[in-house]
Structure 1
Amino acid sequence: MDFEYTEAQRDLSGLARALLTDWAGRHPRPEDTGFDAELWGAMAGAGLLDAALPEQAGGGGYGLLEQCSVLIEIGRTVAPAPYATSIAVVAAALAEFGDHSQVRRRLRPMLRGESTLAPALARDVASFEAERGEQGWRVRGSHSVVAAGAFADGYLIEARSGADSVLLLVDREVEGVTVTRQHAVNGTDAALLELDTVLIPWADAISAPEAPAWARRRAALAVCAHQLGVLERSLEMTAEYARTRQQFDKPIGAFQAVRQRLADAYIDVEAVRLTLWQAAWRESHGLAAESEIDVAKFWASEAGHRVAHTAVHVHASTGIYLDYPMQRYFTAAKRAEFESGTATAHLRGLGLALDVPV
């Protein structure tokens, strides 16, 4: 298992860092909508949206590891780009399981930066129920806090039909679909998605039985990769602050308590990095990775909580000052702590895999 970046990962992460750092320098306080059309278009124009997808789907021939590399860079700038949802989950699922028509109608516009689709995948229980009809699936139900759902042009939903799950594509403007913007901890990109007996034709169904579980795994990995970028940059900013902030005529980083907090944060960030790449490597090579993803998301949640609080505590009141960037990293880390399952939920998954009562 080799965690060194491939040449493609180095190229894509370098391109993403240059583009996103330039954008962040020109937008020190972006709006909280979670989406910047100018940035999304620039990423599409630079080839960042389609590079990490298979060639047969119109991509550059790369995959999950390259997607994670891009997501880390997005996390480092907390940029309002829905790559973790639209590309790493929906576009990747369409590239893996979609038919020619779905790739042409749904995937290609996303890769050109013309549209975004948000996933609404099952959590502990399914949010949507689907019934077979003559013309397609009839779906009802609701899903709260759909990430990037407030501005999405459509959705990839997971619906329960008896004992099985199915992935379905639905447009925002279809009759019976209601989208209500919600304010999450770090912005207003989330939405309450409600479907009132909506007819979804057969052409918009992904029939592969393994697709729902595959999409949930990819969603969890995307959150872990984004969280690594958030925490990595948070620690860098905090260490720099500890070197320059003076108290009692010496840098606060000279005090043992501060050094210990920063050392613990460093260990936590490296744990997130190690577990992410172990899980992503196994998933990318078609190996069983459910337990490794549970471990990675546990660390992204638990370590994310600790590092975020350490960063704010060391910065003191500056850490929550709205004109200082640290508060954006803190809220991003707190949101990632709960997205795609909490630490407890993933520990339960590990317990089931180990046959331990939970």
Structure 2
Amino acid sequence: MDFTRTEAQQDLEQLTRSIAEKLTTNDRLRELDAAEDRFDDKLWQALADAGVLAAALPETVGGGGFGILEQSTVLQELGRTLSPVPYLSSIVLAASALAEHGDEAQRDLARRAGAGEVVLTVALAEELNPDPARPVTRAERTADGWSITGTKITVPAAAFADVILVPATTPEGVAVFLVEPSNPGVRVERQITTDYSAESLVELSGAVVGTDQVLGGTERGAEIVDSILARAAVALSATQLGTLERALELVAEYARERVQFDRPIGSFQAVAQRLADAFIDVKGVRSTLWQAAWRLSENLPAEEEVRTAKFWAADAGHRVAHTVIHIHGGVGLDRDHPVHRYFLAAKHNEFALGSATEQLRRLGQILADVPA
């Protein structure tokens, strides 16, 4: 594959970074830490006005016609600044799925998401279910639609989303349903997460949706969920890459400036070795991410590459996050210092949709299933 950035990626990178760095300040993040929902609506609107939200959506929904490579570029920049906006869930996962698999009304919803008019999300995680591709949540046919019962956890942006995409198991197979939080039988409860991001528990107690609220029909549901999960793993890896890159920059600056025994601490062998290991880890995340994203963009088989990228994002993320805190010492644990947020964000990205151990289990299963 060719790791050279396309012109579109470079333009999106520069545009997103300029907006995010201007609006996502430490003071703004501190303000949002105390908010009911950690959502920067000003930044979200600025990204919409600049065309960033729509840029990586298909032209059929008014987008720029780009894809997962460009979306990963945006996520990398948002990860660098820890920008609290639902680009991953609303644009990369929900809007992209609606644009690709939806009917005319559903594609219009994707267009509105790209314009910043609505916020979408996808409910993937379930408690004690390590495989989101086989949901425990169930849906049964009714006289005029479907009745959905189950509980989803850590659903991004659910507290302020207009529509939630809910995968559920039906007698006919897995299907993806469009559920409005205001529907009877839907309860959204905010959860406290590692990095204080806006995530919620969504309880569905016989929530009723119409037959037109099924994405792609029940016959394609499993395929759609697999596609969403692959994009989610790549998207989390891209976000983690941005977070780790900036965290490494911050700790390298600190190691050059912090002086002990009349020498910068970065000149001590133990510190230099930790920084070198972190540098290699970030390189590993970058290489595996772009390989997986490229294969997805080319519609090539990518299950191994996607799992490898998420493994590196989780495993390397753990090591780099701890290196950042250890080298900063007590300063890194002080909530008045911005570096603690990078530790929390890296830990969130590490465990979201499967830890490093879970990724290795899935990789092992893939290898075991390969014919001898």
1:178-211: CA deviations, max 9, x gaps? 0000010111511010011111111111123311
Superposition CA RMSD, Å? 1.5
Question: Please, what TM-score do these two structures have when normalized by structure 2?
Answer: 0.93
Q: Is the 8 A contact 1:182 1:188 kept in 2?
A: no
**In 2, Cα distance between equivalents of 1:183 and 1:127:** 23
1:148-207: CA deviations, max 9, x gaps? 223222211110113721111100101110000001011151101001111111111112
Q: Which amino acid aligns with 1:161?
A: T
**In 1, Cα distance between equivalents of 2:68 and 2:312:** 19
Equivalence for 1:181: 190
Unaligned runs of 5+ in 2: none
Note the 1:156-305 alignment, pairs <5 A. Answer: 156-162=165-171, 164-206=173-215, 207=217, 208-209=220-221, 210-305=223-318
Q: Is the 8 A contact 2:63 2:111 kept in 1?
A: no
Q: Which amino acid aligns with 1:29?
A: R
Q: Is the 8 A contact 1:35 1:80 kept in 2?
A: yes
Equivalence for 1:114: 117
Equivalence for 2:363: 350
**In 2, Cα distance between equivalents of 1:284 and 1:151:** 30
1:5-39: CA deviations, max 9, x gaps? 10000000100000001112362524133311111
Q: Is the 8 A contact 1:150 1:188 kept in 2?
A: no
Unaligned runs of 5+ in 1: none
Q: Does 1:48 align with 2:48?
A: no
Secondary structure at the aligned position of 2:30 is classed as coil
Secondary structure at the aligned position of 2:158 is classed as coil
Equivalence for 2:141: 132
Q: Which amino acid aligns with 1:132?
A: R
Question: Please, what TM-score do these two structures have when normalized by structure 1?
Answer: 0.96
The alignment-based identity, stated in percent, is: 49
Secondary structure at the aligned position of 1:159 is classed as strand
Runs in 1 of length 4+ with deviation above 4 angstroms?
A: none
Q: Is the 8 A contact 1:51 1:62 kept in 2?
A: yes
Q: Is the 8 A contact 1:118 1:146 kept in 2?
A: yes
Q: Is the 8 A contact 1:117 1:152 kept in 2?
A: yes
**In 2, Cα distance between equivalents of 1:257 and 1:146:** 40
Instruction: Pick the aligned partner of 1:315 from 311, 319, 328.
Output: 328
1:92-117: CA deviations, max 9, x gaps? 1011111111112x212211212211
**In 1, Cα distance between equivalents of 2:2 and 2:235:** 20
Q: Which amino acid aligns with 2:5?
A: Y
Equivalence for 1:148: 157
Q: Which amino acid aligns with 2:113?
A: M
**In 2, Cα distance between equivalents of 1:30 and 1:49:** 24
**In 2, Cα distance between equivalents of 1:60 and 1:100:** 18
**In 1, Cα distance between equivalents of 2:179 and 2:231:** 20
1:36-80: CA deviations, max 9, x gaps? 111110000000000001101210111110000000000000011
Q: Is the 8 A contact 2:167 2:174 kept in 1?
A: yes
Secondary structure at the aligned position of 2:308 is classed as helix
Q: Does 1:60 align with 2:69?
A: no
Q: Is the 8 A contact 1:181 1:188 kept in 2?
A: no
Equivalence for 1:14: 14
Equivalence for 1:31: 32
